[in-house]
Each structure stands twice: as C-alpha cells, then as structure tokens.
Amino acid sequence: MGDLATEPILYSFTDHRVYRRESPLTIAEGEGIRIRDTSGKEYVDALSGLWHANLGFSDTELIDAATAAYSRLPAFACALGRTSAETELLAGELIAASGRRFSSVYFAASGSEAVESVLKFLWLAANTNGTPSRKLVVTRDSGFHGTTLGAASLAGIPNQHAGFDLPLPFTVRVPRVHYYRDHLDGETQDEYVDRIVRITRQRIEEAGPEDVAAMVAEPVMAAGGVLVPCDGYWPAMSRTLSDLGIPLVSDEVVCGFGRLGTLFGYERFGLDPVAVTVAKGITAGYAPLGAVLLGPGLTESLADAAEEYGVLGHGSTFGGHPVAAAVARANLRAFHERDLPGRVADLETSLRAAMEGLLDLPVVGEVRCIGGLAAVELMADATARRAFDPGRRIGRRVAAKARELGLIVRDLGDVIAMCPPLITTPGEVTEIVSILREAISATHREEM
C-alpha cells in the first residue's frame, strides 16, 4: 500500500503505518460462521464481524425480513411525531421483552449514538428536575462506550483519548474489574472486590454524589479485554450506588441480545438500570441500529423538558430506520423461536472447556468465558503475572498468525478476544480453539 493520503478507506481501530505495508483483508462473502476474502480464502470468523453478527452470515430469515421491508417502505425517519409501522412495533416489543421495566425507546443509528444520547438525556433531565449540577458520570478503567466525544470520554482505553483532547471533564474514573492482573499478592477475590468497590465509593464521595448523574458501565467489558466480573462485584457495586443515590446505565452494545445468554445483559447479573443502551446484536449486525431503553423516571423528565423547551432538541435521521426495525423484529423472534438462550448456554460450556485446555501453554496466564464471549490473556510469565514488553506486540502477532491459519480473532494488547456467532456448534468451537492453540504455540516458538 502507498501513503495513507492516497488510500480510499481510513480504517477505524487500525495502525495505518502497518497497513501501508500490508494489504487489508477484504471480505467478499460469508455463510454461517465462515467468511471468504476476495482471493477465495476461507476463515472462521470468531469475532462475529465486530462483536455483532450474532446469527452468523447469510441468515435467510433476517435477509427476508429486510427484503420485505424494503419493498414496503424503504426509508422513513422516526422524528417530528412520525414513525414507521415497523419502528413502532419494535419499540413495543422491546418494552414488552423487558417486562415493561422500561417505558420508552429512543432510536439511534449506532452504539456510539446511543451512548451519546443517554448522556445528553441525563443532563437534560438534571436541568429539568432542578438539579443542574448533576452532570458527572462514573465510568471505569478499560471500559469502551463508543467513539463520539461524550462516549469516548467515558472510555477507559488510552488510545481513545490520545491526540483527541479527551476525555472531556465530566467523568469520575473508577477501577475496572480484572482480578487476574490487578489483585494484590495473597488477595482473595472477595478481598479484591471489597477493595475496588471501596476505592470506587471513595472517588465518588470525593467528587460529590449529589453532582453525579449516573454510572455508565458494561455488564461485561468487551473491548477492554473481555473482563468478566468476579462473583460478588455487581451485588456490592449495586449496593454502593444505591447507598449514594446514583442510578446505573447498562451499556449493552455488546452484551445485549443473547451475547451473555440472556436477552439483556443486566439480567445475567440481576442489575436494576434506569436505562440501557443497545446496538450491534439488536439486528445481529444485518442493519445499522442503536437504541436507548428508558425507564419511567427518565421518560417523564424528557417529556417535561420537551414541554419546557418546546421540543426535544435531539435526533437521528437514520435512527429507527424501517428496514433496520424489521430486521430487529425478526432477530427478536429468532431469539425465542430458535432457543438462543439454550444455544448460548451450550456455547458457553463448550467454549469454557476448550479454552481451559490452553492453560497448559506456558504463555497463557488466564482464560475467560461467559456466554458467547471469551479471551486468552498472554503473559511472559503466567505464574508471576509478568506481562510481555508491549513493544513486542505478542497479541498482534498471535492474531496475525491465526489469520494466516484461517481464523479471525482480535488482539486487545496481549489479550486475544473472541466473540463467535451464537450459532457456533461445539465442533466448530473445537476447530476455533485448535487453530488458536497453533497460533499461540507458533508465536511462542518464534520468541524462544
């Protein structure tokens, strides 16, 4: 490849110095959990595109839903007191699916838009409710919440801030949950949870709980390293938030729609959020769509604000697009009719069993698995928890080797992340982990 300025695509989440020397991967077609590039080479996509192709590729039910919707109403906006029939039906189905925990849905076109929207809604509600100082938002190290200004400010990933003059000064940063890497020598999981929840409470109290609008958090961190919370973390954190009078917003752009085995990620951990942000899996990636599910309190506050200011001055032309809504409705039907919870339970069992077999490799420090999410933590010394020198880019090299061998995974530093389609069978799990083992072993041999 030539100079960056001459290239037709500016790739997100990409080191363009590398891609000046290497050809990008261009995919031509896909079916099930497999994709093929323009040269005809086949890969197992163990990342579901980018955490979103939950039903794999070429699902006829979703394609038929989109085709039929295009023939009925190919375009319409959910704005100005108007919407499409498909979008209206989807909103009702989402509220019903939540057990009517939520009372309204705002539609966006992406996960970043959904998170950005909920931030604005929290601030608008604070102004309307007579608490204009309540604008701070609690967020965690290693969290990922999108790439717009507000959403990226919530992020706890340094490369989302570097060079962008971010984060904006409205965040209260608190610890992530990563027992393997972050626990003190001799510290049990219970002691670790007590410590980081205590630190979280201290930082909120220093900032002033009366000035905090909400905590925005992923039930399970995805792009931050597939960090599965310790048992006891969410109960303890929920009690702390309740004590301090701070509501929770559950960011489920990755964790929703079956990825953790439940329709909504908060259900897996018994959380009680006032709002939920979703995208990606809502359409299984077959059409762009994001949404914010809002509880009764926020819904009423936003209605009051619209009356006070004459309009709800926020919107998205493509949020709630009728074709995307039709696909989302078909995806919701598939969740129940195909018993996705049962399939994800089987997927989790087979993934965990296969991944635990990697612990015999000397550079594997930990494996993590929940629902259809999994990760391998690579370490120079697993016993001593000594990390590789970041400059050696071991994770990137393992991911590149896996790609050579026909497997798509994602390197998050020296964490290899996987998010296979929820339709992945136990036999396909064995294939995925076998290739990954070969990629790790080959990279390790090169290092010796």
pLDDT tens profile 207-246: 999 999 999 999 999 999 999 999 999 999 999 999 999 9
Q: Which of 275, 307, 337 is where one domain is finished?
A: 337
Q: Are residues 424 and 304 in the same domain?
A: no
- List residues bridging with 212 in a β-sheet: 136
Q: Are residues 26 and 154 in the same domain?
A: no
Q: Which of 282, 306, 337 is where one domain is finished?
A: 337
Q: Are residues 352 and 331 in the same domain?
A: no
CATH number of the domain where residue 401 is located? 3.90.1150.10
Phi, psi (rounded to 5 degrees) for 440: -65, -45
Q: Round to whole Å and give the CA distance between 46 and 415.
A: 14
Q: Are residues 74 and 40 in the same domain?
A: no
The per-residue pLDDT for 19 is 63
CB 253 within 8 A of CB 221: no
Q: Which of 337, 364, 386 is where one domain is finished?
A: 337
How many domains are contained in the chain?
A: 2
Q: Are residues 143 and 248 in the same domain?
A: yes
The per-residue pLDDT for 13 is 81
CA distance to 182, 192, 322, 397, per residue, from 370 (Å): 20, 20, 33, 25
Range of the domain at 50: 4-59+339-447
CATH number of the domain where residue 147 is located? 3.40.640.10
The per-residue pLDDT for 353 is 97
Low-confidence ranges of the chain (pLDDT < 50): 1-2, 4-5
The per-residue pLDDT for 253 is 98
Q: Are residues 241 and 333 in the same domain?
A: yes
The per-residue pLDDT for 6 is 52
The per-residue pLDDT for 166 is 94
Q: Are residues 151 and 93 in the same domain?
A: yes
Q: What are the tokens at 417? A: 């992340």
The per-residue pLDDT for 66 is 98
Q: Are residues 346 and 382 in the same domain?
A: yes
Q: Are residues 261 and 250 in the same domain?
A: yes
Q: Are residues 232 and 121 in the same domain?
A: yes
Q: Are residues 112 and 242 in the same domain?
A: yes
Q: Are residues 43 and 160 in the same domain?
A: no
